[in-house]
Amino acid sequence: MAKIAFDELRFVVVDDNTHMRRIVRTLLRAFGSREIYEAEDGASGLEAVEAYSPDILISDIMMPIFDGIELTRMIRNPEGGRHPFIPIIILSAYSEKKYVVEAREAGATEFLCKPVSASALYRRIQNIVVNPRDFIRTKTYFGPDRRRSVNPNYAGVERRSGDNTMHIVDPDKVALEI
């Protein structure tokens, strides 16, 4: 595993369950994190993101006021939020494919099922830090590239064309057509 400078990363953990927030906070501290901010619902989570400018957001999928999917959509709105490029890890007790797809379509960077293990959380954070994905803008989506790998030989009906996709190569919104 690659060494990550956790002491330089700022986290916001959003979960309506106090016990789950404590577990995630304890794991992050064990990894070496110093700055961990918490929120108990989506609205407070959005405020925490705006107030603390975290490097990574970890959010539960099901919460009051608005859930992790709505929180992700609000953050990924490039016209509305100040932090549309923040990596987002969605936590869920529900592992069915529909929840994973819903989180991915909202713009989540990673998905992690509960109960959370230290190694699984570390691997998600490691993937975010070591292998960051470019951001994509289409007519209906803004967020990290949902493809985990690129196959240049793919010729299927869902192959992207340069007409509808904007490839954001860095958070400073420098864009290239693909």
- Same domain, yes or no: 85 and 115: yes
30 in a structural domain: yes
- Same domain, yes or no: 73 and 146: no
Beta strand extents in the chain (DSSP E only): 10-14, 35-39, 56-60, 88-92, 110-113, 135-137, 142-144, 166-170, 174-177
- Same domain, yes or no: 107 and 137: no
Q: pLDDT tens across 36-56, in order? A: 999 999 999 999 999 999 999
The residues, any chain, with a CB within 8 Å of residue 111's CB and separated by 6 or more, are 89, 90, 92, 99, 100, 103, 104
65 in a structural domain: yes
- Same domain, yes or no: 126 and 177: no
Q: pLDDT tens across 58-77, in order? A: 999 999 889 999 999 999 98
- Same domain, yes or no: 137 and 121: no
Average pLDDT over residues 21-49: 97
- Same domain, yes or no: 29 and 114: yes
Region class of 65: left (phi > 0), else alpha (psi between -120 and 50), else beta: left
Please check the confidence at residue 165 and state whether its pLDDT lies above 60: no
The parent domain of residue 147 ranges over 133-151+159-178
Q: What's the confidence (pLDDT) of residue 147?
A: 73
CATH number at residue 64: 3.40.50.2300
Percent of the chain exceeding pLDDT 90 equals 67
Q: Give the global pTM.
A: 0.85
Q: What's the confidence (pLDDT) of residue 163?
A: 47
At 53, list the tokens.
């400018």
Which position has the higher pLDDT, 125 or 151?
125
- Same domain, yes or no: 98 and 145: no
Q: How many domains are there within the chain? A: 2
Q: Which residues of 95-121 are buried (b: 16+ CB within 10 A; e: fewer)?
A: eeeebbebbbebbbbbbbebebeeeeb
- Same domain, yes or no: 60 and 91: yes
Please check the confidence at residue 102 and state whether its pLDDT lies above 50: yes
- Same domain, yes or no: 96 and 163: no
Q: What's the confidence (pLDDT) of residue 116?
A: 95
- Same domain, yes or no: 120 and 42: yes
